[in-house]
């Protein structure tokens, strides 16, 4: 299936979404937001989708908001950037964070502005060694958005978050891995194969359990230990009642590999 600004490929439980405006470094337009949201919602609703891979066409992952679309300093849309966040970026970040399937981001090249923070909202971030992460906002007088001011300090600590936000210098994939910003930096020519292997593994995993794990880890950022223990109790009860947990435990006892279906019930 081919969208205009987002390419969609579905195979073996993997939904691969490719941001597709390579001549503009996959900068986000409202059209791209619409197509990406629709594709993510469809993936979430489809029992055939067990994992989503998000990547970019060409030499970049994404350069963030298409600045031509928000116009120059006299364009009213620029002065109400907040409504663009409210209507497009914030729902996208919430959707990725609440998606009931793992979302892998394959950062194939530079991820700048909101492009960086969309990548960092994903569950597992792999980056090509030549890729970099750029909180470009300060270069144009803006504030990191798309969850960046929430994600960055949690992943790398406030000192590094302030440095990234204020200096707006590119951070290499290797440094991003060393700082704990991403899961892994991978040689450029191995990115696709490595991401496909991990996606294949997740496509055969206990999807519902992964969704509950994602939910628990997200909730931990505002929970006390006591509340988190209560949440783990409740989520474990749900997970343990699922067919995949019964299969997983049964397969362990029978000394055979599990065959997970990804079904909730």
Q: Which of 237, 120, 109 is nearest to 181 (CA)?
A: 120
Alpha carbons 97 and 161: distance in angstroms, whole number: 20
Cβ closest to ligand LHQ, residue 85 vs residue 216? 85
- At residue 35's C-alpha, the angle toward residues 22 and 63, to 5°, is 35
d(CA 53, CA 261): 19
Q: Are 19 and 36 in contact (CB under 8 A)?
A: yes
Q: How far is CA 215 from CA 99, 107, 148, 228, 235, in A?
A: 9, 23, 19, 11, 9
- Pick the closer one to ligand LHQ by CB: 71 or 157: 71
The distance of closest approach from Cβ of residue 26 to ligand LHQ in the complex, given in angstroms and rounded to an integer, is 9
| Cα(122)–Cα(99) distance, integer angstroms | 10
Phi, psi of 184 (to 5 degrees): -160, 135
Our finding on whether 61 is near ligand LHQ (CB under 6 A) is no
Q: Minimum distance from CB of 181 to ligand LHQ (Å)?
A: 17
Residues between 86 and 105 with contacts to ligand LHQ, criterion CB under 6 A: 89
In the bound complex, what is the minimum distance in angstroms from residue 109's beta carbon to ligand LHQ? 9
**Binding-site member from 16, 33, 50, 84 for ligand LHQ (CB under 6 A):** 84
Binding of ligand LHQ by 136 (CB under 6 A): yes
Tokens for 62, please give them. 């994404």
143-202 binders of ligand LHQ (CB under 6 A): 145
Write the binding mask 19 to 38 for ligand LHQ: x where contact by CB under 6 A, - elsewhere: -----xx-x-----------
Contacts with ligand LHQ by CB under 6 A lie at: 24-25, 27, 63-68, 70, 81, 84-85, 89, 110, 112-114, 134, 136-137, 140, 142, 145
């Amino acid at each position: 299936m081919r969208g205009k600004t987002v390419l969609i490929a579905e195979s073996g439980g993997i939904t691969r979404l490719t941001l597709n405006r390579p001549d503009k470094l996959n900068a986000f337009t409202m059209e791209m937001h619409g197509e990406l949201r629709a594709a993510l919602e469809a993936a979430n609703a489809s029992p055939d989708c067990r994992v989503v891979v998000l990547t970019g066409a060409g030499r970049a992952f994404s350069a963030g908001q298409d600045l031509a679309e928000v116009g120059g300093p006299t364009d009213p849309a620029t002065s109400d950037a907040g409504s663009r966040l409210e209507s497009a970026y914030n729902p996208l970040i919430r959707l990725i964070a609440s998606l009931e399937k793992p979302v892998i981001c394959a950062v194939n090249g530079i991820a700048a502005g909101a492009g960086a923070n969309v990548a960092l909202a994903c569950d597992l971030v792999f980056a090509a060694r030549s890729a970099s992460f750029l909180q470009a906002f300060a270069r144009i007088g803006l504030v990191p958005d798309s969850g960046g001011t929430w994600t960055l300090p949690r992943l790398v600590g406030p000192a590094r978050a302030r440095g990234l936000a204020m200096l707006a210098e590119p951070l290499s994939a290797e440094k991003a891995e060393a700082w704990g910003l991403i899961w892994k930096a991978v040689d450029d020519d191995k990115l696709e194969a490595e991401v496909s292997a991990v996606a294949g593994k997740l496509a055969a995993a206990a999807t519902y359990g992964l969704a509950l794990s994602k939910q628990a880890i997200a909730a931990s950022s505002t929970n006390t230990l006591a509340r988190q223990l209560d949440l783990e109790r409740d989520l474990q009860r749900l997970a343990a009642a699922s067919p995949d947990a019964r299969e997983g435990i049964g397969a362990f006892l029978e000394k055979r590999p599990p065959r997970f279906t990804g079904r909730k019930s």
